[in-house]
């Protein structure tokens, strides 16, 4: 268990004991494209000039994919979880000793077990302040399910481990940021899960993240309606008239730059999102379908509202591509660089905050 105050202090304190940030990387599902996109990204050793990457998993798995990809230029330093990281090189933390069966393209319980061991060790080091940020490679949420991981995904796990009551899934790219009020829940439960307090909390987290993590002093936020055409004045649902409109008016009267509720289809179709610093969608697909349509391959998933920094690529395990040297590492590279930007922004915000 961790103390919330100490976590926040660790996460917000500039690392004075190291010249370059330590960026942790969880290996993800070893049968998916995670190892491939990690190796492809870190084969460009120019990254070592700006950060020290630490891969959590197994050198045997890294070696397997290094050989398969013929990535001769990729080298790394092995260590155990208790050992100190070596600056200036790629570090691989061996989170287990036993041999494992690697089956590229296959969903297996074994892959889920070791994906969790990688994530667990990386998260522990992140919360203890050994890392400045964590980038998570894709997992198979079904094979990950076990006694120690009963979560819909990375986001919920990290919120729990950070001992926060909630966080915010925030999809980010160069020109677009979209958060969601409800995340990994069935569509049938969305309407009953949306409450005034829940929306207030997500807007509070989003506003603080825009200020703290993106250096936007007075963020302008668009809020989407829940129903088609934002309810069409009550013909297609009354959540907009009874919940969203009064709430947004109250927030605007208190000085917040929140606008809406906007019909989601027209909002993105007319490219209104360019007029706002961020968008708050009501549910997962309402936000992620337009985001991935506009930013797939360069988008990043960021867990806002935590005392620590975690990003991930905007794609999954992509079993159909695994082991074929066909995976595009662009989104994973974007997740790494976004993590670095977020570290830098939080340090600057902390220095500039009275």
Write out pLDDT tens, residues 75-97. Answer: 999 999 999 999 999 999 999 99
Domain boundary among 274, 299, 324: 299
Are residues 185 and 219 both part of a single domain?
yes
Please state whether the predicted TM-score (pTM) of the whole model is above 0.85. Answer: yes
223: part of which helix (H) or strand (E)? strand 220-224
Are residues 190 and 288 both part of a single domain?
yes
Whole-number mean pLDDT of the chain? Answer: 91
d(CA 255, CA 131): 37
Are residues 329 and 314 both part of a single domain?
yes
Residue 136: which of 211, 28, 218 has the closest Cα?
Answer: 28
Are residues 282 and 335 both part of a single domain?
no
Instruction: Answer with the residue of higher pLDDT: 50 or 13.
Output: 50
Residue 300: which of 266, 345, 341 has the closest Cα?
Answer: 341
Are residues 253 and 310 both part of a single domain?
no
Q: Which residues contact 5 (CB under 8 A, 6 or more apart)?
A: none
Are residues 25 and 84 both part of a single domain?
yes
Domain boundary among 276, 299, 322: 299
Q: How many structural domains compose the chain? A: 2
CATH number at residue 159: 3.40.718.10
Task: Supply the pLDDT for residue 351.
Answer: 54
Are residues 314 and 225 both part of a single domain?
no
Q: Which of 13-17, 23-27, 146-150, 212-216 has the lowest mean pLDDT?
A: 13-17
Residue matched to tokens 């919920």: 156
Are residues 110 and 23 both part of a single domain?
yes
**Domain residues for 254?**
168-299
Are residues 241 and 157 both part of a single domain?
no
Pairing state between β 77-79 and 22-26: unpaired
Q: What pLDDT band is residue 10 in, cutting at 50, 70 and 90? A: very low
Are residues 276 and 312 both part of a single domain?
no
Are residues 327 and 214 both part of a single domain?
no
Are residues 123 and 250 both part of a single domain?
no
Task: Supply the pLDDT for residue 11.
Answer: 40
């Amino acid at each position: 268990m961790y103390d919330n105050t100490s976590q926040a202090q660790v996460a917000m304190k500039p690392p004075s004991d190291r010249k370059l940030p330590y960026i942790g990387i969880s290996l993800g599902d070893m049968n998916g494209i995670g190892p491939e996109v990690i190796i492809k990204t870190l084969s460009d050793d120019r990254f070592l000039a700006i950060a020290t990457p630490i891969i959590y998993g197994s050198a045997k798995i890294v070696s397997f994919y290094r050989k398969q990809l013929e990535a001769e230029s990729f080298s790394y330093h092995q260590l155990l979880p208790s050992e100190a990281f070596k600056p200036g090189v790629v570090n691989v933390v061996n989170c287990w000793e036993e041999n494992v069966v690697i089956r590229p393209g296959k969903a297996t319980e074994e892959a889920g077990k070791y994906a969790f061991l990688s994530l667990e060790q990386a998260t522990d080091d992140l919360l203890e302040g050994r890392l400045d940020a964590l980038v998570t490679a894709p997992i198979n949420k079904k094979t990950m399910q076990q006694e120690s991981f009963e979560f819909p995904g990375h986001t919920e796990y990290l919120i729990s481990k950070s001992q926060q009551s909630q966080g915010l899934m925030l999809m980010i790219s160069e020109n677009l940021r979209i958060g969601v009020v409800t995340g990994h829940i069935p569509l049938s439960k969305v309407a009953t899960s949306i409450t005034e307090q829940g929306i207030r909390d997500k807007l509070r987290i989003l506003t603080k993240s825009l200020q703290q993590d993106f250096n936007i002093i007075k963020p302008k936020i668009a809020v989407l309606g829940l129903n088609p055409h934002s309810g069409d004045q009550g013909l297609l649902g009354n959540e907009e008239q009874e919940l969203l409109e009064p709430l947004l008016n109250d927030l605007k009267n208190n000085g917040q730059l929140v606008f809406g509720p906007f019909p989601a289809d027209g909002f993105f179709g007319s490219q209104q999102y360019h007029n706002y610093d961020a968008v708050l969608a009501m549910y997962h697909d309402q936000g992620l379908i337009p985001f991935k349509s506009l930013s797939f391959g360069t988008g990043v998933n960021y867990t806002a509202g935590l005392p620590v920094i975690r990003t991930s690529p905007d794609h999954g395990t992509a079993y159909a591509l695994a082991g074929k040297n066909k995976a595009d590492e662009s989104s994973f590279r974007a997740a790494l660089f976004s993590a670095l930007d977020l570290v830098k922004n939080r340090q600057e915000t902390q220095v500039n905050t009275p």
